[in-house]
Amino acid sequence: MDRETASRTDDHQALRLWLRLLTCSQLIEREVRARLQGRFDTTLPRFDLMSQLWRYPAGLKMNELSRHLMVTGGNVTGIVDPLEAEGLVERTAEPADRRAYRVRLTRAGRKAFAEMARAHEGWIVELLAGLSRREQAQTYRLLARMKQVTMEAGS
């Protein structure tokens, strides 16, 4: 560790920043999970998977779905199967590969997701309403920088 790095770590600034980021992320995620459960009797991995399918109306292959999921830990097949049984997603043949298929939202799935997404955004707006627009904009800008430098530094 060189001198500059050592002096940077003396006050644990970077570590404290990371732990605070993690705390904020977990506070909001916990609220979202609880409200998804309470209001829609659904889980964050289900919501997350449906939100990916929403963005890809033509559907996604299973491996693409895994890759796109924001929240890890969800087993894609274990989420897709019940959603299919409930008529919220469907499988469609993949013309280029007879053994493959895509998953996409059904009409009922799109309707259900639209309602959840609207509520979800309302919760986020409400949770962050104590920040002024200016604070939100500043935080967004700084997190854009953080995203950029982290991606550059990552392996």
- Examine residue 20 and tell whether it contacts its own copies (CB under 8 A): yes
Among 31, 64, 84, 90, binds its own copies (CB under 8 A): 31
Q: ∠ CA 126-131-133 to the nearest 5 degrees?
A: 100
Q: CB of 100: closest distance to its own copies in angstroms? A: 27
CB under 8 Å to 61, separation ≥6 — which residues?
94, 100, 101, 102, 103
- Examine residue 9 and tell whether it contacts its own copies (CB under 8 A): yes
Among 12, 39, 91, 111, binds its own copies (CB under 8 A): 12
Of 62, 58, 55, 63, nearest to 83 by C-alpha is 62
**106: which 2 tokens?**
């059904």
Per-residue string for binding with its own copies, 62-101, x by CB under 8 A? Answer: --------x-xx----------------------------
CB under 8 Å to 21, separation ≥6 — which residues?
146
- Our CB check for its own copies shows the closer of 34 and 93 to be 34
- Our CB check for its own copies shows the closer of 12 and 107 to be 12
- Examine residue 18 and tell whether it contacts its own copies (CB under 8 A): yes
**14: which 2 tokens?**
């970077």
CA distance 15 to 144: 18
Contact residues toward its own copies (CB under 8 A) are: 1, 5, 8-9, 12-31, 34-35, 70, 72-73, 120-122, 124-131, 133, 135-140, 142-155
